[in-house]
Structure 1
Amino acid sequence: MNLALFDLDHTLIPTDSDHEWGRFLVRLGVVDEETYRRKNDEFYGHYKAGTLDIQAFLKFALAPLAAHPRERLNAWRQQFMHEVIEPAITPQARALVYKHLDAGDLCAIVTATNSFVTAPIAAAFGIKHLIATEPATADGLAESAYTGEVFGIPSFREGKIARVEAWLKEQGARWQDFATTTFYSDSMNDLPLLAKVTEPIATNPDERLRHHAAAAGWRIMDLF
């Protein structure tokens, strides 16, 4: 068996689901437009520059989840999927995922974006396993109210390796059990996990990752 890992934002979808969710909340009028838009764009800029303070960002990004009941959040998420995400999923991205699924590879999306936003996106691709940043709930139950805090290790930079290894352990597997391990990503923020796998593939890479991948002899894929 082979292992295929996919980053999500700008890798499988040509947008950033975390940033777009923030913009969606602004359009709904459920957050202060001027302040939230400014902070959302500021954090996104830090992410692209590789200077993001993940804890500060998550405190900002998860706060709206704690401010509203789950029923309302779920309705907004369904609308977000319909209006923003589903139109952005391309045939090329689906074909890439299906190639691995049809081959019987063990597949997972590994993303820094929180699981509330990304769970239905993984489902839309037919990928069973999602390794995402987990928002904490009041009593630890999946459908309980969110607290605005993070549960466990954020799935970001080196944290992606820790989270993948914990997930592999749950599957009764180790890195060395696979003939090949592949990771698709667009971002230099994912350099630790890209360097960990046997087949790193810079996918729609940002300028810094494209340069690094070319120098390292990694495969470069422009999916979109």
Structure 2
Amino acid sequence: MEAVCVSLWRSRGKGQERERRAALAGQASADAAVAMEAAQVATLEQVATVEGPEPPADKAPPPAPPDLTAAAFFDVDNTMMMGASIFHFARGLAARKYFTSSDLAGFAWQQVKFRIGGRENHDGIQTNREAALSFVAGRSVEEMVDVGEEIYDELMADKIWAGTRALAQMHLDAGQRVWLVTATPVELAAIIARRLGLTGALGTVAENVDGVYTGRLVGDLLHGRAKAHAVRALAAREGLNLRRCTAYSDSQNDVPMLSVVGTAVAVNPDSGLREVARARGWEVRDFRTGRKAAKIGVPSVLGAGAVAGAVAAGLAYRRRAA
């Protein structure tokens, strides 16, 4: 009995620590999203001051009045983009010799086995959380953003789901703000959001000091419950009424995020989310075809462990090179 009690106590302690890290990751992501949005607005205002206002387009419809209490939140991987954004990013980094292609292939295969085996658990993610993004330790945020811009053009721009993009535009046309919510590093998520004309992004936050990455995460990966914490935190900062908000995702792992808003939509859902959506009466949108589903292949199975796996590959390369 004593052993059972000790085991339950330890399990409860682990659960509380996971929740604490998830909350910290969510708060950090919301802070980063607000700061990035403010910086973007300031940049646009500065450009407008220098260049003057744009001439009005002929017969352009007037913009919808801002709807300040409603917003939409979109997952990225297999929801907004075919495959996993971090996998495409890792491919681009490998091409630039941040680590090797064989490391990337090994990482991808491990992720295939990991996901097919159905063992995506928080302990595995927790083991790697301090390793995640550590391959950028000592590099500047500016450098990684510049590289991210290039990789988006090379490997991501043509992988956006047109149907999901149209859903995001529907919210924008209604005067609502639209954020991406993803385990992908927040800087990369912000690039994707900006290129799509969205408001901003919530993503995994890597610690930096004076613009240089330390190689540590703030809290944890923005995954699972951390996404729900991030959405709540952003809603509190932006004055959103979550009952008037909508969230979109493909993964059962995002049920916590989908559950905190008034309207949840399953996009290209995995089997688990399809079942949850059916049980809860959520709308389902599927933009895949058999051909496209087969084409995305390995990237489509990369989930929350992707960041940690890509970094593990990068660290392996650095150890061999040392």
Q: TM-score range by the shorter chain?
A: 0.7 to 0.9
Change (3 A) 1:89 1:43: same
Q: Specify the structure having the higher radius of gyration (Cα).
A: 2
SS at match of 2:72: strand
Change (3 A) 1:148 1:167: same
Match in the other structure for 1:84? 155
Question: What residue identity is the alignment partner of 1:2?
Answer: A
Distance 2:228 2:149 in 1: 30
Work out whether 1:10 is the aligned partner of 2:78. yes
Change (3 A) 1:62 1:47: farther
Give ranges in structure 2 of 5+ residues lacking alignment. 1-68, 289-322
Distance 2:277 2:194 in 1: 30
Equivalent residues of 2:246, 2:262 under 8 A apart: yes
Show the 5 A alignment for 1:20-169.
20-43=88-111, 46=114, 49=118, 50-51=120-121, 53-66=124-137, 68-139=139-210, 144-169=211-236
Give ranges in structure 1 of 5+ residues lacking alignment. none
Change (3 A) 1:147 1:117: same
> Counting helix residues as a fraction of each chain, which structure ranks higher?
2
Q: Which protein, 1 or 2, shows the higher relative CO under an 8 Å CA cutoff with sep ≥ 6?
A: 2
Query: Alpha-carbon deviations, 1:93-139, whole Å to 9, x = none?
Result: 32111100110123211111111221110111211131111111024
Match in the other structure for 2:260? 196
Aligned-CA RMSD value: 2.4
The number of residues matched between the two structures is 217
Q: TM-score, normalised by structure 2?
A: 0.61
Match in the other structure for 2:10? none
**1:181 pairs with one of 220, 245, 251:** 245
SS at match of 1:12: coil
Q: TM-score, normalised by structure 1?
A: 0.85
